Amino acid sequence: MRLYLALALGGLPLGAMYALQALGIVVIYKTSKVFTFATGAVGMLAAYVASWLAVEQHVPVVLAAATATLTGVGVGLVMESLTIRPVRGAVNRTVVTLGWLIALQGLVGMLFGNTSGRQAAKVFSSEPLFTVQALNLAYGVDQTAVLLLALALAAGLGLFFRRSALGTAMRAVADDPEAAGLLGMPVHRVSLTAWGLGCGLSALSGVLVTPLLSSLDTLTLVVFTIQALAAALVGRLQSLPLTLLGGLGLGLVQPVVRHALRDLGLSGTNELVALLVVLVALVARRRTGRGDVGGGGLVPAAQVALPSLRALAPVVATGAVLVVVLPLTGSTTFVIDLSLVAIWALAVLSIVLLTGVVGQVSVCQGVFMALGGFGAAIAVDHGVPFVPALLVGGGLAAAAAALVALPALRLQPLELAIATLSLAFTADTFLYKWHPLVSDASGRAIPRPGFAEIGTAAGQRAYFWLLAVVLVLAGLAVASLRRGRTGAALTALRSSEAATAAMGFSVASAKLRGFAAAGFLAGVAGAAYAGLNQIATGAAFDTTRSISLLAYAVVAGVGSVPGAVLGGLIVTLSTLSFGSSTDIASGFSASATSALTGVVLILVLRFAPEGVTGVAARAVRRRPRPVPALEVA
Amino acid sequence: MLSPRDRLLAWLFAAQLLAAAVLGVVLVNALGGGSAPTVLGQAGPLPSVTAAPSAVPTGTVGPTTGPRGGSTTVTTTTGGQQGSTGSSGGGTVLKPGAPIKIGVLVTQTGAINFAPSAQATKAYVDRVNAAGGVNGHKIELIIMDDQLDQARGQQAAQRMLADGVLAFAAWNAPNTENQIVPFLEANKVPLIGSYGMYAQYHSPWAYAFSAHYGHYGYELGRWLKEKGSTKAGFIYIDNGEARANDGLERAVQAGWKDAGGTGTVEMHREDPTQGVYDDVVTSLQLSGVDGIATILDQTAYNRLQQASDRHAYTPVHVATPLFADPAVAKTSSNEGTWVASDMEFLEAGTPAVNDYVQTVRAAYGAKATVNWVGEVGWLDAMILVDALKAMGKDITRAGLVKAVDGLRSNGYGFTSPLRFGPGERDLNRCLKLGRITGGKLVPATGWRCDGQPF
């Protein structure tokens, strides 16, 4: 008992760290109804700026911290004015913040390098400030400072929103922006202030928290996002005191759970606890009628019309020739790249189905891919031949997707995005290290007899041709889903759940089928990826992969089936390293790819939300049709 | 009849496919070279690498999952054919001047990275190439990065194999290495020098010249007791492999008991992403643990020290070489810590170590990082070059394995004498101890070896 009490109280400073990041999320959401996923990345940027100033430029640490915080404010202002305000729809705006997340990660990697070892700017020392001997409990100066700051900020911001004129204006704008505008309130300026304030808080949190984690890298603070999400949802995205309590509560509970489950050899229990809190909080929100995180589906999901089968003939002919000829013209390495294009195209196709057709946003397709890989490997272990094992992998992923869809039945698209992102974070640290799934060696070998001799071109070619057939079949299946009664149900669901029900379709059934089908495709893609590498692992399908898959699907066009091929090509190119050997070795190339991905995602949502294929199709539609000649009698 | 709109759409899609293919060919092949490897060393025509019938190592090296014993006929052919004069029963003879390609996989990006190993390997091979290479051939290193991802690493291995490497060498990619042995055995390609995961010490195709973690665990347990601990704890980063974790824990318990320790060592297996260690320290303190052995990475060592400082926790501490890494902050709890290492301490200033340090610093200037990881990469390169020299004209994969087994060493100035021999894979069984004194590592003992079977 004494131990658990000590562990719980020792976790309070950790909880304060969560709360600090969560406060930034809530401040922004209260005013703009946009859920930002970029808070961790803003904090990370600020931590690097502070480190560069204080450690390398020898600027006094307080001045460095202040400058870094102001940098965060500046990022918030730019984010709001240039990329949030011009974009339509709460979900699209949230996806923009995902773009910022990966863009900032990449930018920091390019500027400062993305390896650990850089020293954080320490505003406070970690010397013990006070101890409780009976519990062997000790708080350092730095931990106490974070704790007090979180308390002070929660109280101060509460007062600000209730008592100050600007705070009142913010609340008014949050309640009804149009009415506030009509009353003469400067709506845009208020929104701008909220984003500046929220990102400034995230930046300050990053500067203060990083030294406590003894790690200045591009990942740690971003992973903290799931904890902040949980704390913010405990506060119903509105209440600052409850958000503070949510953060502190997580800090209290996590070390206790971790210790209690220590003998089970589980990893990622902190993230697992946070995921449970997120799910419970989301469901509770809807039960209490506070489900105002709506905003509809992804706005750009305008479907690109498919040509008739006869019209497709030249495409099929050209494609078939390319599929047969291309592998014969390049090296084995090139054939591996072609296989990757097919695999990622299949993965993007799953997002086309889920987001473009069904209208749901998932930020965890990578998790379904990983499950597909592990499922296939387990099947092969049990004597299932390789090709049927791909389908078994797809089946496992489909089952998991249907499980995710169960809470999704109650959630609005934006809430679903939050839940699936939390799941992706949890998979990184928990699921991909869970021995019953991944084996005792954190990865499962998956031989593919009949398709390799790994080092030989013939084996790789055979495997590519198999993948090409799978991709074509999947594309035809998705295209056919948009026809007939199922297509009508799914299309109606995209627009309005109420309308879907009014038309006599079951909303629950349509959602479940959509999720399961998309999960199946992602699972087969993951199984195919495992087959390519002859090993199933989770590392290739981390949170960043899930986000970037969604990003590339949006860039290629989530409403277009053939766009998936373009998406597959873009994803493959993004996984290859370009540039000089020095750039590759230093990680600069990977960072530049990440930054470019984020920027392109933001630009596409800003200027062409229907994606590249959508724009192309629109351009074709705008061509004047030839006017038939009049027959003169 | 197709409408004009349908025709346009159809051709648009066809054009998209074609553009995708062209873009793929241009970008993948021209810009990045497909596998986007970091090709270092001398450029030249691809060698043909045909492993000839040869004796594969025999002997007993413990539990095995792969082919072992007797002889195996190796007929794998990979890579391009340029530069080859064909193979005969004795193996492939490269054209004069054709480079020998070697695949190097090193985790160079991510929270944990081993870039110093790649620096050291490249610096050593560059020097050998500058002096004329090996038996008339330059060595071409293809260095790739797995970014801490097994699948990416396995794919990189496939690409390097497709590029015609003779062998893999000087790997420092723990995540990929966990699962690489079946790949090595299926393709009969040797790995000469690696970080050293469990299976690599039990395969005829893999060599790790750093000590098995079992030896580390055993000696840490012994030293912990010998340095005065009465109740011990052991903190380590999850290896991601149950049998490796279990073996390590058993080794620590065995060392502790053999040194006269009573009771069991309290185990703390930590996740690499574990953000703070305050709860670990609290738990150790409340259990009355007065001595800890640790196998952590640099970030985890920093986190442990910070928590120890806050709690004023100063147990007897025996750590691994990464504790003395420049990336680990020197704090109050750092002082007095014992550091066990299977490599000569940089601070020892021996000629071999100085040669490594000076060469890497001359090659990389301010970007040079010299540490234990770099020492391992340097030693791997030394042994690779020695083995290539010993092969003579018999440049085959099986010939390389035979050549490594036939080496004799006094430790190259970095380790205790390595136990080369046919089938022998537990080559490095000795560690020495140093102590952080006045903020610096001071060597304290000579080599101490154990014969524990792991």
Q: Which of A217, A581, A620 sits opposite B40 (nearest CB)?
A: A581
Residue A46 binned pLDDT confidence (cut-offs 50, 70, 90): very high
**Cβ contacts from A onto B, under 8 A:** 291
Q: At residue A100, what is the residue type? A: W
Q: Please count the other Cβ atoms lying within 10 Å of the Cβ belonging to residue A407.
A: 16
Residue B123 binned pLDDT confidence (cut-offs 50, 70, 90): very high
Q: pLDDT (tens digit, 9 = 90+) per residue, B255-286?
A: 999 999 999 999 998 887 777 888 899 899 98
The answer to which of A401-405, A576-580, A588-592, B172-176 has the lowest mean pLDDT is A576-580
> Are A332 and A457 within 8 A, CB to CB?
yes
State yes or no: pLDDT of A621 exceeds 70.
no
Q: Rounded to a whole number, what is the distance in Å from the CA of A438 to chain B's nearest CA?
A: 10
Pairing of β A535-536 and β A444-445: antiparallel
pLDDT of the residue at A623: 59
| CA A616 – CA B15 distance, rounded (Å) | 11
| CA A33 – CA A415 distance, rounded (Å) | 12
Residue A31, both tokens: 């005013």
Q: pLDDT (tens digit, 9 = 90+) per residue, A417-432?
A: 888 888 998 998 889 8
Which of the 8 DSSP states describes residue A247?
A: H
pLDDT, averaged across chain B: 79
Residue A539 binned pLDDT confidence (cut-offs 50, 70, 90): confident
Question: Which residues in chain A are contacts of B175 at CB distance < 8 A?
Answer: 442, 539
Instruction: Say which residue the tokens 């490497």 belong to.
Output: B165
Q: pLDDT (tens digit, 9 = 90+) per residue, B357-384?
A: 999 999 988 878 899 999 999 999 999 9
B114 shares contact with chain A (CB less than 8 Å): no
CB contact under 8 A, B155 and A14: no
Q: pLDDT higher for A113 or B315?
A: B315
pLDDT of the residue at A309: 60
pLDDT of the residue at B112: 66
Residue of A nearest to B149 (CA): A539
3-state SS class at B223: helix
| CA A613 – CA A562 distance, rounded (Å) | 8
pLDDT of the residue at A151: 93
CA-angle at A576, arms to A573 and A579, nearest 5°? 105
B22 shares contact with chain A (CB less than 8 Å): no
> Are A366 and A344 within 8 A, CB to CB?
no
Q: Roughly what angle, to the nearest 10 degrees, separates helices A484-495 and A507-533?
A: 100
State yes or no: pLDDT of B28 exceeds 50.
no
State yes or no: pLDDT of B424 exceeds 80.
yes
CB contact under 8 A, A127 and B18: no
Alpha helix (H) residue ranges in A214-239: 220-223, 225-234
Average pLDDT score over residue span A366-373: 96
pLDDT of the residue at A288: 57
- Which residue in B415, B412, B409 sits closest to B431, CA to CA? B415
Question: Which residues in chain A are contacts of B159 at CB distance < 8 A?
Answer: 333, 336
Residue B445 binned pLDDT confidence (cut-offs 50, 70, 90): very high
pLDDT of the residue at B239: 78
Type and span of the H or E element at B102: strand B100-105
Question: Which residues in chain B are contacts of A435 at CB distance < 8 A?
Answer: 242
Q: pLDDT (tens digit, 9 = 90+) per residue, A557-600?
A: 887 777 888 888 888 877 766 655 555 555 677 778 888 888 98
- The pTM is what? 0.79
State yes or no: pLDDT of B82 exceeds 50.
no
B135 shares contact with chain A (CB less than 8 Å): no
Average pLDDT score over residue span B105-123: 83
| CA A334 – CA A120 distance, rounded (Å) | 42
Pairing of β B291-295 and β B316-319: parallel
Q: How many Å separate Cα A482 from the centre of its chain?
A: 26
CB contact under 8 A, B276 and A126: no
Q: Model ipTM?
A: 0.77
Q: pLDDT (tens digit, 9 = 90+) per residue, A145-157?
A: 999 999 999 999 9
CB contact under 8 A, A529 and B151: yes
3-state SS class at B276: coil
> Are B14 and A307 within 8 A, CB to CB?
no
CB contact under 8 A, B310 and A336: no
The answer to which of A45-59, A79-93, A335-349, B333-347 has the lowest mean pLDDT is A79-93
Residue B392 phi, psi (nearest 5):
65, -130
| CA B207 – CA B376 distance, rounded (Å) | 12
| CA A48 – CA A121 distance, rounded (Å) | 8
> Are B373 and B116 within 8 A, CB to CB?
yes
Of these ranges, A325-339, A526-540, B29-43, B81-95, the one predicted with the greatest mean pLDDT is A526-540
Question: Which residues in chain A are contacts of B161 at CB distance < 8 A?
Answer: 454-455
pLDDT of the residue at B402: 93
What residues have CB less than 8 Å from A49, skipping those under 6 apart? A64, A67, A68, A71
Average pLDDT score over residue span B173-193: 86
